[in-house]
Structure 1
Amino acid sequence: MSVIRTCAAIAMVVGAANCVFAQQASSPAVDLRNRLQHIHGTHSIDNELDRLTATLQLSQQQRSEVEVLLRRHHDTIQALIDGNPNASDEFLRERIHSISDDTHREINALLTQQQLVLVQQMQAQMREAGRGRYIDSLRNR
């Protein structure tokens, strides 16, 4: 799996997302849009930024730059959700994947080689635990 895909799992608030989906998977009444709204809350940005800072040992400058990217990512996805009230789930999935891939490329560009290795190790651990990109858990719904 590419480093871009690896950062995708990290930058997309993997920990919070997986917990949300595990809790909500049994509730078919909760739709995609509501789940996305919950996952992309601003509190999750702060939590993810703290986790990334600790795990990857981000410098203060990297942390500041990653924060800008995560907040822009959040705002872009929020605008997508708000601006397309009748959009299909597939449309939202495709757009979110595209937005996320762009964000992950930008985050990767900020990381050192050592940090990229850590990201790859984290992704391998997540795969072993049976976790994938959070949006993939929405497939077949």
Structure 2
Amino acid sequence: MKNFKFRIYDNNYNVKIVSHEDNIIDLEVNGTTYSVKLKEEVKVTKTPTLVRSASKSPAEQLKVKASSTNTQIVAPIPGTVLTIDVNVGDEIKIGDRLLVLEAMKMENNISSEKSGKVSAIHIKVGQQVLQNEVMIELT
């Protein structure tokens, strides 16, 4: 059933609960079998069941523009832009470093997850950005 490890006064004990019925627990301690009777009956807690009512309005259909091929590179965390390693018009591949963002005294390399062409850069070196702020756009 369950295994436990105890350390009591520099002695190690491996305890394995073999079975549990009513107030009697069969267990092994370092390979020796014991049958233990509890003084009080173990109370079984009732887990509440969450019941959700059906939605009164139907779900809206998600509308996606198929012609949209722009990818936005957003700041994963708030920080300061240390370097920008690309220019507008540059062709980039997956894994290419786009910029370095300093956050909490750590330098974070922001790399591209998609290949494409840099269409816009919305940041400058030294600028502070907020989380989810658009920094670079790819097409």
Q: TM-score, normalised by structure 2?
A: 0.21
Q: Who wins on radius of gyration, i.e. which is larger? A: 2
Between Structure 1 and Structure 2, the one with more helix by share is 1
Structure 1-normalised TM-score? 0.21
Q: Which has the higher contact order (CA 8 A, sep 6+)?
A: 1
Q: Name whichever structure is richer in strand by fraction.
A: 2
